[in-house]
A and B are shown apart, each in its own frame.
Chain A
Amino acid sequence: MCLAIPALIKSIEGKEAEAEIGGIIRRVSLWLTPEAEVGDYVLVHTGYAINVLDQEEAEETLRLLEEIAEIGGDEG
């Protein structure tokens, strides 16, 4: 029920946007994320963007996980 998927905003018209998820284009409502801009990734839940994804934080998390994997390799 809390299914929300990252989608890329391609264009905005008023309070609605066209967003792309893995090659699928969907109309998404920006009522909950008026600050979203073209080029942002948003989390889409039941047709609404519920948050703008922080791409830097995503990269930071992956970097952190890569470090952990390396430590594991060293100790392994």
Chain B
Amino acid sequence: MKFITEFRRADLAEGLISQIHRRSQTPVRFMEFCGGHTVTIFRYGIRQILPSTIEMVSGPGCPICVTANADLDKAIALAHVPDVIIATFGDMIKVPGSRSSLQQAKADGADVRMVYSTMDAIKMAEENPTKSVIFLGIGFETTAPTIAASVLQAEDKRIRNYYVLSLHKLCPPVIRAILDSGEVKLHGLICPGHVSAIIGSHPWEFIARDYGIPCVVSGFEPLDILQCVDMLVDQIEIGESKVEIAYRRGVRPEGNQQALKLMAQVFEPCPATWRGIGEVTDSGLKIRKEYQHFDAELAFDFDPGLPYEPSGCICGDILRGVKTPFDCQLFAKACTPQYPVGPCMVSSEGSCAACYHYGRDFEG
């Protein structure tokens, strides 16, 4: 596959790995923010082949993992409203909320359907005029523009039974919150590749400027991650801190202006609660007044109940990079992909799921 297979070449990986080993002298801790990066790192065994000077830690870049129980409970409550179809990306279906999950709601008779795209959800609304289709808006800046586009399409086509529950989140504010908390000392940040395809590289500049931390925007193939680590090591060893783009084929410094325009047309920033982190200012997206007739929170009468977090689950600590899955008492024992307790194990991009599938100690 073009633009994928070339970036998995073992011979080029070897070159990067030996360069990293040669250059890396200073012990450092790098965080990969994005869940997609976490999966690549575990799937290809990248942690094993980096020198011992480099420690990798995973951040809260899995939008499913960081959705707080209170928000998931809203989705589950909406699923039980009569004549509602919940349209959602696959991963959300199995995530446990305070008392239930969308999968459980479906077993109890709710109409919950998996879609690959908002385009499918719009079609669902057109094909089911007597029902209300509520799209579960989960995702960062990569996904939010697609939901914005769906709202505008629904407006164009005068579709009156399409709604969005906006649980979208923005990345730069939460990274600032993590850095401000001082809980984890970071020396470099692997910036999310497709979020940056939308927002560009400028929004990361505050990290290099205010915190002195090198940032490199990375793609998702193993060579991309290795190249990114190489560039971070380079900055560290020459004492620089700036924002660079390694993923030059996919990211421009100014991002995708059209996507940003549509996003700003439909959404505005609002406070959002991140699992394990709490409320972060301006880190969520709310549907603007002009489009509020698409807002599921306003259109329906529903009661999510009081949120509740299961004891023993340390997803919050793992999301902030303070603990690893191995530090969790429940990991691989009470909490497995088959019987997950927390979202980090359910989501295919959660650190716990990635670690369980690919990175468990052979003795584990």
**Alpha-carbon gap, A55 to B89, bound state (A):** 30
Is there a chain A Cβ closer than 8 Å to B4's Cβ?
yes
Closest B residue to A51 by beta carbon equals B197
Which of chain B's residues 82-107 have a Cβ closer than 8 Å to chain A?
Answer: 89, 91
**Alpha-carbon gap, A69 to B2, bound state (A):** 21
A67 to chain B, nearest CB (A): 8
Is there a chain A Cβ closer than 8 Å to B364's Cβ?
no
**Alpha-carbon gap, A70 to B12, bound state (A):** 9
Q: Are A61 and B227 in contact (CB under 8 A)?
A: yes
Q: How many residues of A contact B (CB 8 A)?
A: 42
Q: Are A1 and B195 in contact (CB under 8 A)?
A: no
Residues of chain A within 8 A (CB-CB) of B116 are 46-47
Closest B residue to A2 by beta carbon equals B194
- In the complex, per-residue mask of B180-224: 1 if CB is within 8 Å of any chain A CB, else 0: 000000000000111101100000000000000000000010010
Which of chain A's residues 18-52 have a Cβ closer than 8 Å to chain B?
Answer: 21-22, 27, 29, 31-35, 41, 43, 45-48, 50-51
Residues of chain B within 8 A (CB-CB) of A47 are 116-120, 146
Is there a chain A Cβ closer than 8 Å to B279's Cβ?
no
- Chain A at the B interface: mostly helix, strand, loop or mixed? mixed
Which of chain B's residues 18-73 have a Cβ closer than 8 Å to chain A?
Answer: 18-19, 22, 34-36, 61-64
Contact size range, B: 35 or more
Q: Are B256 and A65 in contact (CB under 8 A)?
A: no
Given contacts A8-B2, A69-B12, contact A75 B22 (CB under 8 A): yes
Is there a chain A Cβ closer than 8 Å to B11's Cβ?
yes
Residue from A29, A31, A53, A71 within 8 A of B15 (CB atoms): A71
Closest B residue to A45 by beta carbon equals B142
Closest B residue to A27 by beta carbon equals B119
- In the complex, per-residue mask of B244-258: 1 if CB is within 8 Å of any chain A CB, else 0: 001011111000101
Is there a chain A Cβ closer than 8 Å to B153's Cβ?
yes
Q: Are B197 and A72 in contact (CB under 8 A)?
A: no
Q: Are A1 and B249 in contact (CB under 8 A)?
A: no
Is there a chain A Cβ closer than 8 Å to B262's Cβ?
yes
Is there a chain A Cβ closer than 8 Å to B341's Cβ?
no
Q: Are B18 and A31 in contact (CB under 8 A)?
A: no
**Alpha-carbon gap, A61 to B228, bound state (A):** 12
Q: Are B120 and A1 in contact (CB under 8 A)?
A: no
Is there a chain B Cβ closer than 8 Å to A12's Cβ?
no
Q: Are B2 and A6 in contact (CB under 8 A)?
A: yes
A31 to chain B, nearest CB (A): 4
Q: Are A69 and B249 in contact (CB under 8 A)?
A: no
Given contacts A6-B1, A69-B14, contact A1 B19 (CB under 8 A): no
Is there a chain A Cβ closer than 8 Å to B317's Cβ?
no
Q: Are A50 and B3 in contact (CB under 8 A)?
A: no
Q: Are B249 and A54 in contact (CB under 8 A)?
A: yes
B107 to chain A, nearest CB (A): 25
**Alpha-carbon gap, A47 to B119, bound state (A):** 7
**Alpha-carbon gap, A68 to B193, bound state (A):** 22
Residue with the highest number of chain B CB atoms closer than 10 Å, among A35, A45, A50, A76: A50
Residue from B16, B18, B118, B252 within 8 A of A65 (CB atoms): B16
Q: Are A50 and B259 in contact (CB under 8 A)?
A: yes
A-B contacts, 9 of them at CB < 8 A, read A4-B142, A8-B2, A29-B117, A29-B119, A31-B258, A48-B149, A50-B146, A57-B248, A58-B248
4 closest cross-chain pairs (CB), A and B: A69-B15, A47-B117, A58-B249, A6-B3
Q: A21-B1, A43-B194, A46-B116 are in contact. List 15 more A-B contacts (CB 8 A).
A: A2-B34, A29-B149, A32-B145, A34-B258, A45-B143, A46-B118, A53-B250, A54-B248, A55-B249, A57-B249, A62-B6, A65-B15, A68-B230, A69-B16, A72-B14
A residues apposed to B, CB below 8 Å: 1-6, 8, 21-22, 27, 29, 31-35, 41, 43, 45-48, 50-51, 53-55, 57-58, 60-62, 65-66, 68-73, 75-76
